[in-house]
């Protein structure tokens, strides 16, 4: 049986236009918090229980700092907006000190091999992930109108943290992108013949403001799904974007075909984009802007990657004549 309480939390998050990924994460941690505390209602608990739970995540589950922070954000939202008794701003709990892993980065040769070995239907997707440094969700949410051929850029709206940014677009992808847009236009013409079609989903009530623009080509997902489906939030028929698992499987297949030993995910292409930009002499502030990082310290992790091995400390083994 579904929890009525969690349904209330979900509806509240939806009304605030939180992304589905954030909603799922918040609901998970709120449900886990309630479960660990013997199914007590959050209104009967407070700072002490939250502090104890956050310490439990570190001491018993050994979660990373980012995971503990997400759990904290979920509970802060719960008590501020649902229970309406905000938590103490200075909660006292053991914070995770699990260090962040250095990112896996492919060499330029490995990137070339990976793209050559990629499934043909997903070569464009993987090329954009590497060539523009997008996150996987940012790629999936691209609309046709986000591609700017004149200024050779991609406009990313509502990225991580709700930020907008402009990223580079390689001219070598223009032909493939125009072919993809032609495919979107073909799908749109088919969809418009279906009386159930409600147009593309538009955020922040833009659908009410701009009327039928959601049925224009510009607003369609660049990488649309193969068929119409029911939008779970509205119950309307729309053409959603493709599933993230399709890209993940394509990357896995490309890695295997290219016989690359390193662990490679879609995010590895973003790591490689940033590292290769820095190796090419790009300013770290420029790379920060391209990646959409709020804090330059997040971007600086790529300088640590560059400084490894032959680009950093010379091994004393090199001085031995063996």
Domains of the chain: 4-82 (1.10.150.130), 108-304 (1.10.443.10)
Annotated catalytic residue 151: no
Annotated catalytic residue 196: no
The SS3 assignment for 133 reads coil
DSSP annotation string for 134-203: --HHHHHT-BGGGEETTTTEEEE-S-GGG--EEEE--GGGHHHHHHHHHHHHHHHHHHHTSTTB-----S
Determine the pLDDT at residue 303: 84
For the cut 90, the answer to whether the pLDDT of residue 265 exceeds it is yes
Q: Read off the pLDDT band of 167 (50, 70, 90).
A: very high
Residue of 10, 241, 271, 293 with catalytic role: 293
Please give the model's pTM, rounded to 2 decimal places: 0.83
Residue of 12, 69, 135, 240 with catalytic role: 135
Closest CA to 42 of 19, 22, 63, 53: 53
Annotated catalytic residue 267: yes
Question: Token pair for residue 135?
Answer: 């996150």
Q: At what angle do helices 266-279 and 284-291 cross, to 10 degrees?
A: 160
Closest CA to 129 of 146, 144, 111, 116: 111
For the cut 80, the answer to whether the pLDDT of residue 194 exceeds it is yes
Highest-confidence segment of 49-53, 155-159, 229-233, 309-313: 49-53
Residue of 125, 241, 270, 276 with catalytic role: 270
Annotated catalytic residue 205: no
Closest CA to 180 of 135, 125, 134: 125
Determine the pLDDT at residue 285: 94
Residue of 69, 155, 160, 240 with catalytic role: 160
Residue of 155, 165, 215, 267 with catalytic role: 267
* % of the chain residues with pLDDT over 90: 73
Q: What is the pLDDT of residues 62-87, one digit of tens each?
A: 998 889 999 999 999 999 999 999 99
Q: What is the pLDDT of residues 134-156, one digit of tens each?
A: 999 999 999 999 999 999 999 99
């Amino acid at each position: 049986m579904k929890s009525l309480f969690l349904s209330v939390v979900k509806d509240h998050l939806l009304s605030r236009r939180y992304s589905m990924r954030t909603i799922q994460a918040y609901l998970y941690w709120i449900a886990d918090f309630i479960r660990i505390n013997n199914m007590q209602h959050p209104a009967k608990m407070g700072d002490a229980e939250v502090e104890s739970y956050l310490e439990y995540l570190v001491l018993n589950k050994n979660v990373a700092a980012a995971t503990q922070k997400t759990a904290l954000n979920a509970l802060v939202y719960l008590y501020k907006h649902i229970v309406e008794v905000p938590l103490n701003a200075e909660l006292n709990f053991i914070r995770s000190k699990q260090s962040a892993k250095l990112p896996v980065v492919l060499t330029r040769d490995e990137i070339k091999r990976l793209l050559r070995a990629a499934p043909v239907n997903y070569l464009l997707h993987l090329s954009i992930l590497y060539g523009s440094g997008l996150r996987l969700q940012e790629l999936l949410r691209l609309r046709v109108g986000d591609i700017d051929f004149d200024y050779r850029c991609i406009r990313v709206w509502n990225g991580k943290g709700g930020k907008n940014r402009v990223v580079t677009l390689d001219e070598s992808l223009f032909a493939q992108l125009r072919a993809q847009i032609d495919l979107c236009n073909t799908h749109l013409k088919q969809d418009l013949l279906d009386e159930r079609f409600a147009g593309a989903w538009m955020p922040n009530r833009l659908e009410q403001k701009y009327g039928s623009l959601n049925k224009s080509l510009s607003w369609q997902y660049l990488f649309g799904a193969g068929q119409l489906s029911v939008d779970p939030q509205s119950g309307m028929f729309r053409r959603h974007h493709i599933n993230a698992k399709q890209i993940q499987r394509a990357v896995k297949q490309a890695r295997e075909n290219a016989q690359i030993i390193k662990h490679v995910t879609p995010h590895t292409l973003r790591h490689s984009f940033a590292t290769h930009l820095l190796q090419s002499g790009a300013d770290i502030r420029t790379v920060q802007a391209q990646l959409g990082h709020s804090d330059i310290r997040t971007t600086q992790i790529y300088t640590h990657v560059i400084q490894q091995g032959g680009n950093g400390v010379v091994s004393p083994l090199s001085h031995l004549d063996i």
